[in-house]
Structures are given as C-alpha cells and as structure tokens.
Amino acid sequence: MTEWTGSADTRRKALPQRSVWQAMRRGFACRCPNCGRGKLFKGYLTVVDRCEACGEDLSHQRADDAPPYFTILVVGHIVVPLMLIVETTWHLSNVTNLAIWLPLTLILTLGLLRPIKGSVVGLQWALYMHGFDPSGDPNDPGKAPWQADLGS
C-alpha cells in the first residue's frame, strides 16, 4: 500500500493529467471515459460498475442532480428561442403550440439526458473527483487508512 505524505494539493499534482475534453466527449458518446471503447451505461441511466474493455472502476461516480440540471439548461436554450421565433412569425393557436413544443421538449430532454450524464461522469473521472481519486474521497465515510495520518 502506498503511504501518502504531504498535503492533498501535493498528492493531486502527482496524479497524471487526464484530458477533460476527451473524457467528456467519450462520456457524451456513452463510452468509458478512460478507453472510449467500453459501454458506459447498462441501462438508460445506470452506469456500469466496471468498463468491459479496460476494467476502469466506474461504480463510485456521483452524477446526482447535475445531468438533469444541465439537460434542462440546454433544452431550454433550444426550445425557448424557437418558440419565440415561431410565435412572432406565425401566431399559432395554443393547441398547435402545445402539439409542437411539448413533444419536442420531451424528445430533446430524453435524448440529451443520457449523453449529458455521460459527460458529467467523464468530467468527474478526468478531474479525479469523488471515488476516482486514488487517495480517496475526503467526503467518504470510509476514508483510506493513510488519510488518518493527515489529520483530515
């Protein structure tokens, strides 16, 4: 077992750099952020425990509420301007507006939620967030044994 000494910043600097954009692109494609070959999801939004291609442990990711938040942000920035353009140009009835915008919003939301969650997992992996940090997560109740020496 590796004995860690020094501050958390010193340990973090010693970790190899990972490409954030590459990891997020791989996650957006629903692929493993490490190798880009293995599947990231085993269900619609359930992340696999380990990559089938490279064996990277993905079980400790914590995307939580970030993917729905970013999905709402993206879909809102697409749908709202389109609604304004259509409304100022054609003045459609309320029923017609509902028939257009509700399905479009639903399709965009369901279509983007999974890739955005993959990007968030890729970002966490690239930045060594949560359990992706080999020195352990200071927010985890079961801290790594060497962290007790650091007074954290």
Tens of pLDDT, residues 31-56? 999 999 999 999 999 999 999 999 99
151 pLDDT exceeds 50? no
> Is 150 a member of any domain?
no
CA distances from 18 to 34, 102, 146, 150, 151 (A): 9, 39, 24, 26, 28
What pLDDT does residue 126 have? 95
pLDDT tier at 1 (50, 70, 90 boundaries)? very low
Q: Is residue 105 situated within a structural domain?
A: yes
In a domain, 72, yes or no: yes
pTM for this predicted structure: 0.80
**pLDDT for res 2:** 47
pLDDT at 9: 54
Q: What is the pLDDT of residue 76?
A: 98
Q: Which amino acid is at 133?
A: D
CA gap 134, 127 in Å, rounded: 12
Position 114 in a domain = yes
Containing structural domain, residue 113: 12-143
Length, in residues, of the chain: 152
Give 87's contacts (C-beta < 8 A, 6+ positions apart): 97
Q: Is residue 33 part of a domain?
A: yes
Rg of the chain taking only CA atoms, in angstroms: 21
Overall average pLDDT of the 5-18 stretch: 67
Strand partners, 50: 57
Q: Is residue 89 part of a domain?
A: yes
Residue 106 domain-assigned? Answer: yes
Sequence-ordered strand ranges (E) for the chain: none
Output 19 or 4, whichever has higher pLDDT.
19
What is the rounded distance in angstroms from the CA atom of residue 127 to the CA atom of residue 21? Answer: 11
Mean pLDDT of 84-106: 96
Domain count, the chain: 1
**Range 47-84 burial, b when 16+ CB lie within 10 A, else e:** bbeebeeeebebeebebeebbeebbeeebeeebeeebe
Residue 61 lies inside a defined structural domain of this protein = yes
